[in-house]
Amino acid sequence: MEVIVQPTPAEAARIAAMLIARAIERKPALVLGLATGGTPLHLYDELVRMHREEGLDLSRVRTFNLDEYLGLPPDHPASYRRFMKEHFFDRTNIDPRRTFVPDGLTQDIPRHCREYEELIESVGGIDIQILGIGSDGHIGFNEPTSSLASRTRDKMLTAQTRRDNARFFASPDDVPNSCLTMGIGTILDSRQCLLLAFGSHKADAVAAAVEGPVTSMIPASALQFHADAKVLVDEPAATKLKLRAYYDYAYRHSPVLQ
Ligand code: F6R
């Protein structure tokens, strides 16, 4: 894994946006895997800015979101479809027909999950997967003890995740207890992963994922098996990393990033 520490979330997000923009220039029909939550907001803002001010063309890009709450209609204020529409899709020239978010109202979960996987495969797989990390080490909604080989499926959320995400709902009791999520195997199939993590409350999870053993207790540690995973963090999220000096040196001397 390549760890890049930046002074602020905005600076880390700028690097992620630059990598995505370069990839779109090389391949206009890029397939992007997307995350929701607080973490990727700076990244979406920066991509929107690049679209408006620098002509970044997203019209041929396809997107697949990692997850969705079960039981929420797409227009629910806390649904991930609505989140993506407000924070990203409606602010760019992305074609809504090329955006995919798992359907939280599906009546046939196994079939819907199988079709989601097949759709990803039919467009050639995900080129760049954006990831956040939960304070319990989850990626997507793959909670601790998720199979490291898992595919898109329904998953029960932990009490910790429901507490962490209560801020997006009118009341903590409104947070659904289950979701649909790409699996860890699905995420590992993407060609590149960009994991973003900001704030001191992510420091333990980041250190465990990057420098700890690979374990389903920290699902993000599975990224150690990925051949091209970059971890972009701000200073507070980097405080528990032991090899910090090495990461900074590698970043300063990276021909791709400098
Ligand atoms: C959401 C997702 C989750 C979040 C994680 C961090 O689509 O994939 O793994 O990235 O829960 O959430 P925030 O960014 O709100 O701290």
Residue 242 inside a domain? The answer is: no
**Catalytic pick from 127, 143, 189, 234?**
143
pLDDT in tens, 142-191: 999 999 999 999 999 999 999 999 999 999 999 999 999 999 999 999 99
Q: Which atom of ligand 1 is nearest to the CA of 141?
A: 9
pTM over 0.85: yes
Residue 243 inside a domain? The answer is: no
DSSP H helical ranges for 34-144? 41-54, 80-87, 109-122
Residue 32 inside a domain? The answer is: yes
Return the CATH number at 71. Answer: 3.40.50.1360
Residue 187 inside a domain? The answer is: yes
Q: 174 lies in which domain range?
A: 2-235
Residue 49 inside a domain? The answer is: yes
Q: What is the mean pLDDT of residues 224-245?
A: 98
**Catalytic pick from 67, 103, 164, 234?**
67
Residue 76 inside a domain? The answer is: yes
pLDDT in tens, 16-42: 999 999 999 999 999 999 999 999 999
Q: In which band, very low, low, confident or very high, does the pLDDT at 87 lie, cut at 50, 70 and 90?
A: very high
Residue 196 inside a domain? The answer is: yes
pLDDT of 255 strictly over 90: no
Count of structural domains within the chain: 1
Residue 240 inside a domain? The answer is: no
Is 103 catalytic? The answer is no
Residue 210 burial class via C-beta count within 10 angstroms: exposed 0-12, middle 13-18, buried 19 and up: buried
Q: In which band, very low, low, confident or very high, does the pLDDT at 257 lie, cut at 50, 70 and 90?
A: confident
